[in-house]
Amino acid sequence: MRIIFLGTPEPAGRILDSIVAAGHEVLLVITRPDAKRGRGGTLSPSPVKEAALRLGIPVSHELADLDHVNAELGVVVAYGAIIPAVRLEKLPMLNVHFSLLPRWRGAAPVERCILAGDEETGVDVMTLEPTLDTGPIHLELVTKVADKSAAALLEELTDLGAQAIVKVLNDPQLRAVSTPQSGEATYAAKLTAADFIISPSLSTEHALRVVRLGRTRIETSKGSLRIVLARASELFVAPGQIRLLEGAVLLGCADGALELLEVLPSGSRIMTGSAWWAGVRDEALDWSSVQLAGE
C-alpha cells in the first residue's frame, strides 16, 4: 500500500521499519519538529525522523503536506498531537495504540496499566478519529503485564504493534471490518514527577509498581539512591528503614518490605543491593521520598 506514516518516539520508528520491511511504500513521514534533548540543549531529530532518513523516506513536520501526496492510507503511532478532522476527511488513517481500548486512552497507557495493577494489556489497531483514541478496532493483540518493567513491557508492545499493523495492512478484510469500542473508558494522563515517588507510607505492592516505571529514587543518610530492580519480600522492616536481614537488603514500607536487587547510588554505577550495602557499614538507614526534577 501507499502510506503516509506519522509518529515521533523510538517505538514508532521501529514500527516504521517493520512496515517498510513488509513491502509497503511509505511515501512521506510526518513527525514532530526537532527538539532539544539532553543536557547540551542542542536540537535533535525525533527517532522517527532518524529512521525515515536512514530509509530514504522524505520527512516533513507539517500536516499540510499530507495534501501533496497521493497515498491510500495514513498510519499513526504516537505522533504526539491530535490529527484534525479536516485531514482525516482527506486521508483515512489507522492508529496503533498500546492498550486494550477503551481502557487507557491517552498519552501514557503503558505506565498507567502498571500503576493500576492491570493483569493484561495489549495493542489495538483502530481507525483514527479526531477525538482521543475513540475509533473502532480492526485488530487487538493481548499480553500479560505480570511483573514486567515499563521498559520491558513497552519493548514487547512495540513488537506486537509492528505485528498488528502489518497484519492489517496486508489483509483487506481486516481493514474493511472494525468493531466499536465497548466498556468503561479510562484515561492515561501524562506522567509527572510525583508518579515516580515512593514513601514509607506506601504499601509494598504500590511501591513496587512505581519502581517498575524506572525512575524511582529515595533519600538516605548515605545520599540519594535510585532503585533499579526490586521485589517484594516476606520479611518485615519498619517503614522508613533499610536493613540487612537474612542476606537481603530490605526497604521498609507500610505493610512489609522490598528487597533491593539493583541500585544506582548518586555519582556511581548500577550495582547489586548487597554490594551497595557493603559500603554502607551501618546496621540500619532511614529513608524518605525524594522529589524528582525530570531525568
Q: Report the DSSP pairing between strands 59-60 and 73-77.
A: unpaired
Quote the CATH superfamily of domain 193-289.
Answer: Formyl transferase, C-terminal domain (3.10.25.10)
Number of Cβ atoms within 10 Å of the Cβ of 288: 12
What residues contact residue 31 under an 8 Å CB cut-off, 6+ apart? 6, 7, 8, 45, 46, 48, 49, 52, 59, 61, 79
For residue 165, give the nearest of 5, 41, 27 by alpha carbon: 5
Work out whether the CA dihedral 223, 224, 230, 232 comes out positive or negative: positive
Per-residue pLDDT tens digits for 167-197? 999 999 999 999 999 999 999 999 999 999 9
What's the average model confidence in pLDDT over 21-31?
98
What's the average model confidence in pLDDT over 147-157?
97
Q: Would the pLDDT of 285 be above 50? A: yes
What percent of the chain shows pLDDT beyond 90? Answer: 91
- pTM as predicted: 0.93
- The domain ranges of the chain are 2-188, 193-289
The rounded distance, in Å, linking the Cα atoms of 256 and 279 is: 24
Q: Which of 91-100, 137-146, 208-217, 286-295 has the weakest average pLDDT? A: 286-295
Q: For residue 128, what is its C-alpha cell?
A: 483514527
For residue 48, give the nearest of 96, 21, 14 by alpha carbon: 14
What's the average model confidence in pLDDT over 18-33?
97
Q: Which CATH architecture has domain 2-188?
A: 3-Layer(aba) Sandwich (3.40)
Q: Would the pLDDT of 294 be above 50? A: no
What's the average model confidence in pLDDT over 20-30?
98
pLDDT of residue 291: 63
The rounded distance, in Å, linking the Cα atoms of 81 and 120 is: 27
Q: Report the DSSP pairing between strands 284-289 and 241-245.
A: antiparallel
What's the average model confidence in pLDDT over 145-157?
97
**Which helix H or strand E contains 163, and what residues bound it?**
helix 150-170
**Which helix H or strand E contains 230, and what residues bound it?**
strand 223-233
What percent of the chain shows pLDDT beyond 70? Answer: 97
Structure confidence at residue 198 as a pLDDT band (50, 70, 90): very high
Q: Would the pLDDT of 230 be above 90? A: yes
pLDDT of residue 41: 73
Q: What is the mean pLDDT of the chain?
A: 95
Per-residue pLDDT tens digits for 76-128? 999 999 999 999 999 999 999 999 999 999 999 999 999 999 999 999 999 99
The rounded distance, in Å, linking the Cα atoms of 75 and 169 is: 10
Q: For residue 73, what is its C-alpha cell?
A: 492510507
